[in-house]
Amino acid sequence: KYSTIMIKNIPYSCPRKYLIEFLDEFCAHENAKKKDAEGTSHEETAAYDFLYLPMDFRTKNSRGFAFVNFTTARSASRFSDIFHQKKYWDFVRFDLWPKKIEVARAEIQGKEAAVKHAEESSYECETDEYLPVCFDPPRDGSGQPVQMTVIGNRRGAASSAEYYYWEPRRDNNHH
């Protein structure tokens, strides 16, 4: 059982906001199926709390894969069951994309480990738009307000995440 997945073969022109819409739609659909006649859910909510879409900082395109942490292993498994090896983006805006979605277990598992890894990483980019993000409360597709916090730091500038302090690397060759 695992909760963090790697989604492969994402269209290079896909920005983070489209991926968020795609994941929100998945969660909303899953959660709607779980509700009874009174609108009450008796199962765990499908939601995600971490997302990283690595970017090629020169071309401003994605590198074709993303990491997502779902709040339950069941949601990660369900996402994989629905989308793995499906024709890409029959679901979203990329109908000409020839590759199929691949879903795999991510090496780094869980929100805490993903956030720690991102905090310890530097990214050579000019915008927080390309950095990993976490969500509080987790995004469940309901449209309720969710705080998005940028994680990690851009090389040469501190991250916008207030709780993370970054000290520039010292150049020991300077005399």
The per-residue pLDDT for range 36-79, each reduced to its tens digit, is 656 666 678 999 999 999 998 888 899 999 999 999 999 999 99
Question: Bridge partners of 87?
Answer: 100
20 occurs within a structural domain = yes
Per-residue pLDDT at 40: 61
77 occurs within a structural domain = yes
What global pTM score does this model have? 0.82
101 occurs within a structural domain = yes
| Residue 163 pLDDT greater than 70, yes or no | no
The per-residue pLDDT for range 87-128, each reduced to its tens digit, is 765 555 666 778 889 999 999 999 999 999 999 998 888 888
Backbone angles phi, psi at 129, to 5 degrees: -55, -25
Per-residue pLDDT at 172: 43
Question: Domain range spanning residue 39?
Answer: 4-154
85 occurs within a structural domain = yes
118 occurs within a structural domain = yes
- What CATH number did the domain enclosing 104 receive? 3.30.70.330
**Are β-strands 147-150 and 48-52 bridged in parallel, bridged antiparallel, or unpaired?**
unpaired
**Buried/exposed code over 130-155 (b: 16+ C-beta within 10 A; e: otherwise):** bbbbbbeebbbbeeeebeebbbbbbe
Query: What total of structural domains would you count in the chain?
Result: 1
* Residue among 141, 82, 72 nearest 109 (CA): 72
The per-residue pLDDT for range 118-162, each reduced to its tens digit, is 999 988 888 888 999 999 999 999 999 999 999 988 875 444 443
Per-residue pLDDT at 89: 55
